Structure 1
Amino acid sequence: MATPAQWIEGARPRTLPAAIAPVLVGTGAAAYLDAFVWWKALLALGVALMLQIGVNYANDYSDGIRGTDENRVGPLRLVGAKVATPQQVKTVAFTCFGIGAALGLVLAITTTWWLLVPGAASILGAWFYTGGKKPYGYRALGEISVFLFFGLVAVLGTTYVQAEKLHWTAVAGAVAIGSIACALLVANNLRDIPTDSVTGKRTLAVVLGAANSRRLYAALIALAFILAAVSAVATPWTLLALVALPLAAKAAKTVLSDAVGPALIPVLQGTGLTELVYAIGLTVGLFLGN
């Protein structure tokens, strides 16, 4: 039986900035349009957190039953480490998805019913990332999914439920946050290339190879900061996002230095922190630019 601390570790709290950041930026874009609605922002945050935690447990379950986590370098996996049964982890994953779906339903009822479509797609995307007979995360499509759901859908959805319209600053923020979230996954999969290659997990990092994955990471990080500068056309306050630049530079330096295995673990934390600080800076800038 897993301990509470192990369940918390299994939820992978270091990945939660990937859920918080897009809601912050989407809310900032809504505020820029003078349409900030605090309770809808909180509901959107609840949806994002539940989906992020749910997908972490779902990945734990699916990778665990396939045996791809048995020689894992990174954080604890409950099923792979045999501290929880697959059914227990699966149940917790679906409970998180259910809570997220309920919160999303409230947002749809109070905004527009068509929001149920991207909401349902997000849950299905979370499960089939590593679940099902043909998980797309094993076919080098993980980064596309992260960009779509934790970038475009999360940011633009958060903006829309509050403002009921979009603005190009929201799109720029969505692409930027999606890029950093993708970089986080690239770093994770770069670390796992040796074990994923052996177990048949064909991530984008496995397909591209280590050298190209390192270049992709740097390009994604650079794109986010370029978009912050572009957004300054709307309001120069968006340059506050550049406060995250030192964090990003430190993480990118490690990635580009040919670090491997455990040496890449701090990059995950650094990239997650970069995303969160970037989002805070951009959000404050959009609020001030109202």
Structure 2
Amino acid sequence: MASVAEWVEGARVRTLPNSVAPVVVGAGAALAGGGFSPGRTVLALVVALALQVGVNYANDYSDGVRGTDADRVGPLRLVGAGVATPRAVKTAAFACFGVGTAAGLALVAVSGFWWLLLVGAACVAGAWYYTGGDRPYGYSGWGEVAVFLFFGLVAVLGTEYVQVGAVSWVGLGGAVAMGAFSAAVLVANNLRDVPTDRVAGKKTLAVRLGEERTRVLYAALVGVPFVVSVILVSASPVAVVAFVAAVLVVPALRLVLGQETGMRLVPVLKLTGLAMLLWATVTAGALAL
């Protein structure tokens, strides 16, 4: 039986900025649109966090039962390390999906946008079939596209929409930035795992591109939010302050472009996630002003 500390580590807390940051940006866009609602923002945050932890447990389960986590570097894998049964981890994943679904239903009820139930169902399906099912799309190189879609466009624009009843170009810019940051986190993760994924037959985008082109892709993705910052200056001159996130991106870039491999790439995930959260917080504040 896994300990509480092991369950927490298995939840991969360091990935949570990927959930918090898009909601923060969406709330900032709602503030700029004059329709901010604290209650709806909190519900959106619960949905995002629950689905994030759920997908982390789901990945742990699916990769574990397939044996692709047997020699994986990085954070503890509950199933792969044998500290929790596959059934227990799968149950934890669906419990998180249940919490996210409940919060999503509440959000839809208070907003009145019932068609968003379809979006919610797509999010849960996307979370499970990333590594679950007979043909997981994460094993075919589509993970980054899904992350860009769900943690970028859906999370940011969904948060803005349930509060304002519309999406703005400001929100779209923030959504693109969040999607790029989230995809960059996954690219760094998959770059780290290229040797073991290749052996396990997991054809992630990093495996398909090769390490050198994957490093270039990471650099391009983390550059996108700063381009968005320049564009957002027309909406709020203070948005330029988001360039402070470069203090976290630059060290990550040095590791990626410096040909680091394996465990030496683990700090890149943390730095990129924190840069995403910092960029989101500063940008949301700028939009609120």
TM-score by length of 1: 0.99
Q: Give runs of aligned pairs for residues 188-203 of structure 1, distance below 5 A.
A: 188-203=189-204
- Which residue is equivalent to 1:50? 50
- Which residue is equivalent to 2:135? 134
Letter matched to residue 262 of structure 2: G
How far 1:240 sits from its partner (Å)?
A: 2.2
- Which residue is equivalent to 1:122? 123
- Which residue is equivalent to 1:282? 283
- Which residue is equivalent to 1:158? 159
Secondary structure of 2:202's partner? coil
- Which residue is equivalent to 2:260? 259
Deviations 1:238-258 (A, max 9, x none): 112111111111111110000
Letter matched to residue 227 of structure 1: V
- Which residue is equivalent to 1:186? 187
Letter matched to residue 178 of structure 1: G
- Which residue is equivalent to 1:106? 106
- Which residue is equivalent to 1:219? 220
Contact kept in structure 2, 1:240 and 1:284, CA below 8 Å: no
C-alpha distance in 1 between matches for 2:118 and 2:218: 31
C-alpha distance in 1 between matches for 2:223 and 2:204: 22
C-alpha distance in 2 between matches for 1:202 and 1:196: 7
Which segments of 5 or more consecutive residues in structure 1 lack a partner in the other structure?
none
C-alpha distance in 1 between matches for 2:192 and 2:68: 14
C-alpha distance in 2 between matches for 1:240 and 1:155: 20
C-alpha distance in 2 between matches for 1:229 and 1:8: 38
C-alpha distance in 1 between matches for 2:72 and 2:138: 17
- Which residue is equivalent to 1:13? 13
C-alpha distance in 2 between matches for 1:240 and 1:181: 20
How far 1:135 sits from its partner (Å)?
A: 0.1
Report which stretch shifted further, 66-75 or 236-245: 236-245
Q: How many residues align?
A: 288
Deviations 1:203-258 (A, max 9, x none): 00000000000000000011111111111111112112111111111111110000
Secondary structure of 1:26's partner? helix
- Which residue is equivalent to 2:90? 90
Secondary structure of 2:121's partner? helix
C-alpha distance in 2 between matches for 1:153 and 1:2: 34
C-alpha distance in 2 between matches for 1:121 and 1:228: 30
Which segments of 5 or more consecutive residues in structure 2 lack a partner in the other structure?
none
C-alpha distance in 1 between matches for 2:240 and 2:38: 24
How far 1:33 sits from its partner (Å)?
A: 0.5
C-alpha distance in 1 between matches for 2:212 and 2:85: 37
C-alpha distance in 1 between matches for 2:125 and 2:194: 26
1:232 partnered with 2:263:
no
How far 1:128 sits from its partner (Å)?
A: 0.1
C-alpha distance in 1 between matches for 2:185 and 2:58: 18
Letter matched to residue 118 of structure 2: V
Secondary structure of 2:115's partner? helix
Letter matched to residue 132 of structure 1: G
Deviations 1:114-151 (A, max 9, x none): 11111110000000000000000000000000000000
- Which residue is equivalent to 2:62? 62
Letter matched to residue 198 of structure 2: S
1:22 partnered with 2:35:
no
Contact kept in structure 2, 1:128 and 1:136, CA below 8 Å: yes
TM-score by length of 2: 0.99
Q: Give runs of aligned pairs for residues 75-86 of structure 1, distance below 5 A.
A: 75-86=75-86
Letter matched to residue 141 of structure 2: A
Secondary structure of 2:7's partner? helix
Letter matched to residue 39 of structure 1: G
- Which residue is equivalent to 2:207? 206
Runs of 4+ in 1 over 6 A off after TM superposition: none
Letter matched to residue 199 of structure 1: A
C-alpha distance in 2 between matches for 1:229 and 1:249: 18
